[in-house]
Copies of this chain bind each other. A is one copy, B any other.
Amino acid sequence: MLTNASKYAIRAVLHLTKKMDEATKMSGKEIGSDLDIPEAFIAKILQKLVKANIISSHKGPKGGFYMSKENLNNNINDIIWAVEGRDIFEGCFMGLPVCSDENPCPVHHIVAPFKEKLYMKFNDLTIKDFADEIKDNGTHLTIKGINVKI
């Protein structure tokens, strides 16, 4: 459903936002290594995000990426849109040219509520809200340093 690029982007932005209070700026290198994302690849993605005003950046020593006050008001769908250039939630799970309640495919009744739930979460919460929720719930953006149970 999401490409690697947008998964990386979402995790990077939320990670940046979580870290915000501690260290103001993070280098692309640091973000990549924190989240186990190839550094050169996440660098390209971060570039896009800056252009789309999803995150902010500053060059040179002590520079890096950071979240401005305004950046925090965006939502996850804005990130996806910036990276993909399209809405990933439209379209039928089974490949029909339209997805609608009136002309449902055999799994529409399962897929549609899921898509709606996720779409709402990705639209209604700001990045700031989302990052706060992550802190409160203790959910993960990486499993680095975590004693993983499966």
Contacts and interface: CB of A to CB of B under 8 A. Distances in A.
Interface of A: 1-2, 4, 7-8, 10-11, 14, 36, 93-98, 100, 102-108, 110-111, 114, 117-118, 121, 130, 133-134, 137, 139-143, 146, 148-150
Contacts of A100: 148-150
Contacts of A150: 98, 100, 102
A134 B106 CA distance: 6
Given A1-B93, A98-B150, A110-B118, A104 B143 contact: no
Contact of A107 (B95, B106, B111, B121): B121
Given A7-B94, A110-B121, 8 more contacts: A1-B93, A7-B95, A11-B94, A98-B148, A105-B139, A106-B134, A106-B139, A111-B114
A118 B134 CA distance: 26
Nearest to A120: B110
A133 B121 contact: no
A91 to B, nearest CB: 10
A98 B149 CA distance: 9
A14 B106 CA distance: 10
